[in-house]
Amino acid sequence: MEESLLEVKHLKKIFHSGKESFTAVEDINFFLEQGECLGIVGESGSGKSTVAMMLTHLTEVTEGQIFLQGKDITHAKGKALRETYRELQMVFQTPAGSFDPRCTLGDGIGESLRNMGISKKETRNRVEKLLLTCGLTPEYADRYPHQVSGGECQRAAIARALAVEPKVLICDEATSALDVTVQKQIMELLMKLKKEKQLSFLFICHDLALVQLFCDRVIVMNDGHVEEEGTPEEIIENPKTEYTKRLIESVL
């Protein structure tokens, strides 16, 4: 059988503070294929962000494995981690968090390109193209994060994530902090990217309506474990558990 683009096996996260320990993620398994969009839904606190943070190495994996194109990246460091970030990028809920407030958006978007040894001029060219792809004019490269709106900053954050031409884009509540109209515009941008680029998405969202709009498959998380999985239609039309029913009723 061919390997999946991304696969997690028996992923587990225990947070420790002092003598206390808390299991935030317990034995999660899923895969993501090329060009596919997998949604992760669940109540606040169910462990969705912790999964995303383990995938992007923002928090250490306690147990289990993460495979990217068949390669075990669970504990990747140094060069291996840099290579991982070329394939796997993330967009966060608060767009300003993706940028250094003292640097222009252009510097932020181009940072990884410069780190890859690409010239200043070529980086600027690519940054301008990325801005256009994300619905912003090239002059936004010279603005600072505080000089743009939340929606514009999220567009720039998506441009930044796309700069390395990743295979997987993890969106963690990427539209949740935005008002409804702007949320719709960002969703349109993500749908355009899904259609035009060979991108796979891990789309973390508490809003099942957005997941239905965007995702091919969805997993429902409850209290750190996978409650059920299926297509959005299967989940919404025929929820198997009371938890999923409540989740659907609360957002649809």
Q: Which residues bind ligand ADP (CB under 6 A)?
A: 15, 17, 22, 24, 42, 44-50
For residue 204, give the amino acid letter: I
Residues 193, 182: Cα–Cα separation, whole Å: 17
Query: Are the CB atoms for 42 and 206 separated by under 8 Å?
Result: yes
Query: Are the CB atoms for 241 and 228 separated by under 8 Å?
Result: yes
Residue 107 or residue 223: which is nearer to ligand ADP going by CB?
223
| Min separation Cβ 125 and ligand ADP, Å | 37
| Min separation Cβ 131 and ligand ADP, Å | 29
Q: Which of 224, 203, 218 has its CA nearest to residue 248?
A: 218
Residues 153, 4: Cα–Cα separation, whole Å: 32
For residue 213, give the amino acid letter: L
| Min separation Cβ 177 and ligand ADP, Å | 14
| Min separation Cβ 40 and ligand ADP, Å | 8
Q: Output the six-digit token pair for 32.
A: 């993501």
Residue 41 or residue 141: which is nearer to ligand ADP going by CB?
41
Residue 58 or residue 132: which is nearer to ligand ADP going by CB?
58
Residue 50 or residue 200: which is nearer to ligand ADP going by CB?
50
